[in-house]
Chains A and B, each alone.
Chain A
Amino acid sequence: MSTESWKSARNAVVLIACLLAGWQALYWFAGEIAMRPPLATLRYTANLVTTDAFWPHLSETMRAFAIALAIAVAVGLLTGFWLGFHSLSRQVFEPMLVAIYSIPKITLYPVLLLAFGLGMPAKIAFGAIHGIIPVALFTINAVRNIKPILIKTGRVHRLGPLDMVRSILFPAALPEIFTGFRVGFSLTLIGTLLGEMFAAQRGLGYLLMTAIGLHNVDLIMAVTLLLIVFAAVVSTLLLAIDRRLHRRSV
């Protein structure tokens, strides 16, 4: 291992230790009624993941999230490329996107629920609407920031339209698009879980709400921990890839 990776590993360990210490301190402050300490939570979580009742919830959430993310990325990319290249459409629609982006999506939840019904489709829709706009906005910027000189170079090398997209436009826009994907990932996860918390019969969000209803603090802590670990691990990975992509941009 190089000095650099030693350093980042050490930093990660220190960070996790600090978080655990903070958690323990918060527990001493808030008490048994609201929280569990780290060790008890870990023990309960380890137990929880071995039960049969847990896995259907997890797979339900992951399925909803994966589909929502796929929709958010596909629609966001298409919208972004379209508005990025077509300036009239961009002038018309970009302000609208920005305006919609600032609406608290939760206010649309009743409408979505009535439109899609209780269950999977509503969760997916709610997750996807959180992710589409950031992916689209980042893609618009990515496309607009492609240096014209690179396109000119492509023309000098007599690339066809398809080749131009594949070997110049897409790689040139990729670092910025990936940043959009990273932001879209986090927001879609929030959307999917929110969708599950209010009107669902399965999923981690539902499990969390049930636990709150039954005042099952152990379960609340365990589900929260799992979600935090999942989000943190994936986000760290995405951030690492993002940095790597951006380091090459001149």
Chain B
Amino acid sequence: MSDAHVSLRDVTKVFPAANGGEGLHALGPVDLDLGKGEFFAVVGPSGCGKSTLLEVIAGLTPASAGTVEFEGWRVDADIPDGIGVVFQEDACFPWLSVEQNIAFGLRKTALAADAKQRRVRDVIDLMGLGDFAKSYPAQLSGGMRQRVCIARTLVTQPRLILLDEPFGALDQQTRLLMGDEVLRLWRQTGATVFLITHALDEATMLADRIAVMSARPGRLIDVVQTNWPRERDSRIVERAEFGAITARLWKTLREESLKTMALKGAGQAAEPA
């Protein structure tokens, strides 16, 4: 599938051991093709290498083996243009106002000052941050701050958006509403979205396809197609298929999570007292 928007082949990540030993096999091999404009989610037990996969795609971490291609270009520990990343942690710059935080996204963009200003204004409107443009992050709630981070990513008009548990730190209601917002933005921007999450309902509600990742080393062991219409929102959780999909994901994930827990238990037992 050479026309894929993002294409991963045999992507593997081994973190070298400090003492020159065997190292930690964190990820892969992973093969994956994302279609243009697709919403793809990855769920997996904690510590399975989900975030590592995202960082490899983003060019933040080089793969130990295998290739990542974005729009036909190789991503190789070099962050390509057209990719935006939103992290779980609060990544707002506390010394900049909301407006300045968002404008930060355009630092490397060759645009006239007034064009940049217009883009910032548009994204502020899009994200409903108009009343807070001059506020500082410390004055905002966690959900609002995450909106600012999303806005800072959107202002660059990315063609691929990577979301690393972006709602992990938010409460359940806010998460559902932010999910609606992400779906709306996804439709409006036409971007390809790659979402990492540990919340099955979130993945099921948002994505076109959901992959389940195995315990470490992380591999994609099941991919589920949701067949939702493109026009959808959080009310999709009422559908019967929603439960069926979530149940199927959990069946696979449960075994992997148990493996992870067993690994952790063994690790703790092996630790010197």
Say whether B90 faces chain A, with CB atoms less than 8 Å apart.
yes
A11 at the interface (CB under 8 A from B): no
- Name the residue of chain A whose CB is nearest to the CB of B84: A156
Q: A147's contact among B89, B105, B145, by CB below 8 Å, is which?
A: B89
CB neighbours (8 Å) of A147 from chain B are 89, 91
Smallest distance from the beta carbon of A121 to chain B beta carbons, Å? Answer: 38
CB distance from A164 to the nearest CB of B (A): 11
Q: Does B91 contact A159, Cβ atoms closer than 8 Å?
A: no
- Contacting residue for B87 out of A152, A157, A248, A249, CB 8 A: A152
Shortest Cβ distance from residue A174 to the other chain B in the assembled complex, whole angstroms = 7
Q: How far is the CA of A152 from the CA of B59 in the complex (A)?
A: 11
B247 to chain A, nearest CB (A): 34
Q: Judging by beta carbons under 8 Å apart, are B58 and A156 in contact?
A: yes
Q: Which of B66-74, B92-100, B116-124 contacts A (4 or more CB under 8 A)?
A: B92-100
Q: Does A168 contact B (CB under 8 A)?
A: yes
The residue from A149, A163, A171 contacting B90, defined by CB atoms under 8 A apart: A149
Known: A158-B108, A248-B138, A249-B138. A153 touches B87 (CB 8 A): yes
A247 interface contact, C-beta 8 A: yes
**How far is A248 from B138 in the complex, measured between Cα atoms in Å?**
6
Shortest beta-carbon distance from B168 to chain A in Å: 13
Assembly CA distance A126 to B108 (angstroms): 46
Residues of chain B with a CB closer than 8 A to A167's CB? 104, 107
Residues of A within 8 A of B138 (CB): 247-250
Residue A63 lies at the interface, judged by CB distance under 8 Å to chain B: no
Q: Known A247-B138, A250-B138; judge A158-B79 contact (CB<8 A).
A: yes
- Identify the closest chain B residue to A247 (Cβ): B138
Q: For residue B136, which residues in chain A have a CB less than 8 angstroms away from its CB?
A: 248
- Contact call A152/B91, Cβ cutoff below 8 A: yes
In this complex, the member of A150, A155, A171, A250 whose beta carbon has the largest number of chain B beta carbons within 10 angstroms is A250
- A97 CA to B94 CA, complexed, in Å: 30
> In the complex where A152-B60, A155-B79, A249-B138 touch, is A171 in contact with B93 (Cβ < 8 A)?
yes
In whole angstroms, how far apart are the Cα atoms of A196 and B58 in the complex? 59
A residues within 8 A CB of B87?
Answer: 149, 152-153
The 8 A CB mask of B197-229 against A (1 = contact, 0 = none) is: 000000000000000000000000000000000
Complex CA distance for A248 and B137, rounded to whole angstroms:
7
Instruction: Answer whether residue A172 sits at the interface, using C-beta atoms and an 8 A cutoff.
Output: yes
Kindly state whether residue B249 has any CB partner on chain A within 8 Å: no
Evaluate contact between B91 and A153: CB separation under 8 angstroms: yes
Q: Which B residues are closer than 8 A to A by beta carbons? A: 58, 60, 79, 81, 83-85, 87, 89-95, 104-105, 107-108, 136-138, 145
- Cβ contacts A to B, 18 pairs, < 8 Å: A147-B91, A149-B87, A149-B89, A150-B91, A152-B91, A153-B93, A156-B79, A156-B84, A156-B85, A157-B108, A159-B108, A167-B107, A172-B93, A248-B95, A248-B138, A249-B138, A250-B90, A250-B92
